[in-house]
Amino acid sequence: MRELELLSHIYRSNPALPAGVTIPPGDDMGAVLLGGATVLVTVDQVADGVHFDLATTPIEKIARKAITRNLSDVAAMAAKPVGAVAAACLPKGFGEDKAKTLFDAMHATAEQFNCPLIGGDISMWDQRLILTVTIFAEPDGIDPVLRSGAQVGDVIYVTGKLGASLITTDDPPGYTHHLDFTPRIALARKLAVNSAIRPHAMIDLSDGLALDLPRICEQSNVCAELDTNNLPISHAAHLAAQRSGQPAWQHAMGDGEDYELCFTAPPGSPSIMPAEIDGVPITQIGTIVAQHPGPVVTVRLPDGTLADTASLGWEHKG
Amino acid sequence: MRELELLSHIYRSNPALPAGVTIPPGDDMGAVLLGGATVLVTVDQVADGVHFDLATTPIEKIARKAITRNLSDVAAMAAKPVGAVAAACLPKGFGEDKAKTLFDAMHATAEQFNCPLIGGDISMWDQRLILTVTIFAEPDGIDPVLRSGAQVGDVIYVTGKLGASLITTDDPPGYTHHLDFTPRIALARKLAVNSAIRPHAMIDLSDGLALDLPRICEQSNVCAELDTNNLPISHAAHLAAQRSGQPAWQHAMGDGEDYELCFTAPPGSPSIMPAEIDGVPITQIGTIVAQHPGPVVTVRLPDGTLADTASLGWEHKG
């Protein structure tokens, strides 16, 4: 069962959302009006055995990821973080020292991104560690970028480099992308504040480009064409390809947990889109086309033949 | 390790909270300024085996409690709910039907209290069910009531009746307070909007009066005196006393999960405090006294002798 199926269910079961809900469930963040202000909200959980391995991962990095995963959703809306609350369910015997380390590190990460922790809830149980973080954000002068705004003719871009985010590389030493990534908040706001290159639609890559790009397409009622030769492939994805025997582009498209941004911008944008922002490369990877009965995302393979994400094994289910 | 010890740790470790944080961690909700508006936020989790028993509790009631537990925190601030996000970590094999039932019931409960669910996160794992709900609220014309405002001479009140909230009673049939309680939002706002009886300090009773009242005292730098003869004792607590052989007042003071409100109001308030609001009794149970080196809460027992909550076995740890 995919997360979005259930989120869609929540949405579908709620056709009469109050007028104050300005962004309904199904985007990277929801939004409501509160005292005349727009409040954007996102929640994410990280669980031992699912999103990290407590036995092999430093507590500080687990805590960091619990915060940054959410901040990546904030980036996807081009919003500005305001505050966070964190809930932790600790395994019995976890110990007060480790709990303090955990909260100190969540606090430090939150502060680094100007997103103070203002509350929390701690429980203990005989099950594994799970952390749930809710972050709220504000537009602060920049209209949120939704998933639903992609237009035919738009150029598709991604930030950074993709693939094999679980692999520890030597660049820099010990770097493991899914734990150490920087949420692209500042970059997203630089894009979105500039009317010439402001994204029409944006999403953060958590499940992988092959699953996340179709979400932009479905919510925008468009299709997409990608060229695998254009994908920015991470050093880790090249390492992974050597080990797995799969082509590196497959790791870049499918591995997930990149926490980079995928966005679309107008047809004229390539001539003015910076090659990088704050040292992060911006790469043109494809084009938005009109909705058609064929595959949602058509992929040009390195040999020039065409395929689609579903036939390549990435089954998008909403 | 008690929740508040860790929350205090978060707070202590964060002496330089940004100016926008108007209510720091440690109250029933935190608050930040956002676009000129005050946003109050609370998070709570309910876990299988800790806060409910999945094997014996209808899914709808679990879902309801996940929402209402948070709404009780909203009531404690006399705030007005605005929206919620819910995260669920489902045991493998939980099944899509049950997941839909769960989210439908969370949605229905949230809507009942004008608090639409605007986002969520679903994961699956090989551990037990856990639900984490974050609710945000607004003052909407009523200043939030804090834990820290109690003054010497204040009268201490509680709403409803206390004790044995886990016991299923026949009044009404099948009623189990910890699952079926009504968060006292409307009542709290009626109190707080009326300057003659507006609480100086308020908290919701989640861990039990014996542990929650000392939190008001500590944050207000005062002590309290209670008379056990005045405690409003629930029908369930009388049943529990018959079974346990303990006096019913002990169940009322210590059992927890009452989700009623405990508040203090000025010395003149008894002559004007309504005996009930919306059918919920308001009972005077004690007095706030000056801080002194003795016990934080002194308790007059039914035989007239004095004791304190710590010596009675309720060890308050912050």
Confidence of residue B1 (pLDDT cuts 50, 70, 90): very low
Q: How far apart are CA A170 and CA A240, in angstroms?
A: 14
> What is the per-residue pLDDT for A299?
95
Q: How far apart are CA B189 and CA B187, in angstroms?
A: 5
Q: Is the pLDDT of residue B58 over 60?
A: yes
> In this predicted complex, what is the ipTM?
0.89
Report chain A residues whose CB lies below 8 A from the CB of B104.
13
Cβ within 8 Å, pair A35-B37: yes
Cβ within 8 Å, pair A83-B32: yes
Q: Taking the CA atoms of chain A, what radius of gyration do you get in angstroms? A: 19
Cβ within 8 Å, pair B47-A85: no
Q: Minimal Cα–Cα distance from A311 to chain B, Å?
A: 25
Report chain B residues whose CB lies below 8 A from the CB of A131.
none
Which residues in chain B belong to E strands, given as ranges?
A: 21-23, 30-34, 37-47, 80-91, 117-125, 130-138, 155-159, 168-170, 173-176, 201-204, 222-227, 261-265, 276-277, 280-290, 297-300, 306-308
Burial (0-12, 13-18, 19+ Cβ within 10 Å), B134: buried
| Closest alpha carbon within chain B to A69 | B121
Q: How far apart are CA A22 and CA B19, in angstroms?
A: 27
Burial (0-12, 13-18, 19+ Cβ within 10 Å), B170: exposed
Q: How far apart are CA A185 and CA A82, in angstroms?
A: 12
| Closest alpha carbon within chain A to B123 | A3
Q: Minimal Cα–Cα distance from B266 to chain A, Å?
A: 29
Of B32, B107, B130, the CB nearest to A82: B32
Cα A206 to chain centroid, rounded: 4
Confidence of residue A309 (pLDDT cuts 50, 70, 90): confident
Q: Which two tokens stand for residue B80?
A: 């007005």
Q: Which two tokens stand for residue B223?
A: 């002590």
H/E segment holding residue B207: none
> What is the per-residue pLDDT for B95?
87
Q: Is the pLDDT of residue B194 over 60?
A: yes
Report chain B residues whose CB lies below 8 A from the CB of A116.
14, 17-18, 21, 32
Cβ within 8 Å, pair B6-A122: yes
Find tokens 């969370």 and name the residue: B106
Report chain B residues whose CB lies below 8 A from the CB of A96.
1, 5
> What is the per-residue pLDDT for A225?
97
Q: How far apart are CA A50 and CA B88, in angstroms?
A: 13
Count of Cβ atoms closer than 10 Å to residue B136 Cβ = 31
- Residue B32, phi then psi, degrees to nearest 5: -130, 155
> With contact defined as beta carbons under 8 Å apart, do B29 and B240 qualify?
no
Q: Is the pLDDT of residue B310 over 90?
A: no
Q: What is the pLDDT of residues A1-60, one digit of tens each?
A: 455 455 555 555 555 677 788 998 888 999 999 988 999 999 999 999 999 999 999 999
Dihedral-angle region of residue B25 (phi above 0 means left; psi in -120 to 50 means alpha; beta otherwise): beta
Q: Which two tokens stand for residue B112?
A: 């009942």
Find tokens 């030597």 and name the residue: A170
Q: Which two tokens stand for residue B5?
A: 């010890």
Q: Is the pLDDT of residue A179 over 90?
A: yes
Q: How far apart are CA A219 and CA B95, in angstroms?
A: 26
Q: Is the pLDDT of residue B275 over 90?
A: yes
Q: Minimal Cα–Cα distance from B21 to chain A, Å?
A: 7
* Crossing angle of the two packed helices B59-76 and B185-192, in degrees rounded to 10: 10
Count CA atoms within 13 Å of residue A233 on its CB side.
17
Q: Minimal Cα–Cα distance from A29 to chain B, Å?
A: 7
Q: Between A99 and A150, whose confidence is greater?
A: A150
Of B20, B39, B116, the CB nearest to A34: B39
| Closest alpha carbon within chain A to B114 | A18
Q: How far apart are CA B112 and CA B104, in angstroms?
A: 12
| Closest alpha carbon within chain A to B126 | A49
Cβ within 8 Å, pair A14-B117: yes
Q: Minimal Cα–Cα distance from A314 to chain B, Å?
A: 19
Give me the domains of chain A, ranges plus CATH numbers: 3-10+19-138 (3.30.1330.10), 155-308 (3.90.650.10)
Cβ within 8 Å, pair B14-A89: no
> With contact defined as beta carbons under 8 Å apart, do B217 and B224 qualify?
yes
Size of interface A-B (CB pairs under 8 A): 239
> With contact defined as beta carbons under 8 Å apart, do A168 and A174 qualify?
yes
- In 3D space, the residue among A253, A255, A286 whose CA is nearest the CA of residue A157 turns out to be A286
What average pLDDT score do residues B51-72 get? 96
**Is the bond leading into A270 cis (omega within 30 degrees of zero)?**
no
What average pLDDT score do residues B10-18 get? 62
> With contact defined as beta carbons under 8 Å apart, do B46 and B62 qualify?
yes
Report chain A residues whose CB lies below 8 A from the CB of B20.
82-83
pTM: predicted TM-score of the whole model, two decimal places: 0.91
Cα B205 to chain centroid, rounded: 4
Lowest mean pLDDT, pick from A25-29, A105-109, B289-293, B301-305: A25-29
By percentage, how much of chain B surpasses pLDDT 90?
A: 81
Count of Cβ atoms closer than 10 Å to residue B132 Cβ = 32
Using the 8-state DSSP alphabet, how is residue B271 labeled?
G
**Is the bond leading into A172 cis (omega within 30 degrees of zero)?**
yes
Q: How many helices (H) and strands (E) does chain A have?
A: 8, 16
Q: How far apart are CA A194 and CA A265, in angstroms?
A: 11
* Crossing angle of the two packed helices A3-12 and B96-112, in degrees rounded to 10: 40
Count of Cβ atoms closer than 10 Å to residue A290 Cβ = 9
Cβ within 8 Å, pair A41-B119: yes
By percentage, how much of chain A surpasses pLDDT 70?
A: 94
Cβ within 8 Å, pair A127-B30: no
- Residue B179, phi then psi, degrees to nearest 5: -100, -30
Find tokens 């949230």 and name the residue: B110
Q: How far apart are CA B30 and CA B22, in angstroms?
A: 8
Q: Is the pLDDT of residue A278 over 60?
A: yes
Dihedral-angle region of residue A216 (phi above 0 means left; psi in -120 to 50 means alpha; beta otherwise): alpha
Cβ within 8 Å, pair B38-A37: no
Report chain B residues whose CB lies below 8 A from the CB of A104.
13
Q: What is the pLDDT of residues A79-101, one digit of tens each?
A: 999 999 999 999 999 988 899 89
Q: What is the pLDDT of residues B83-94, one digit of tens each?
A: 999 999 999 999
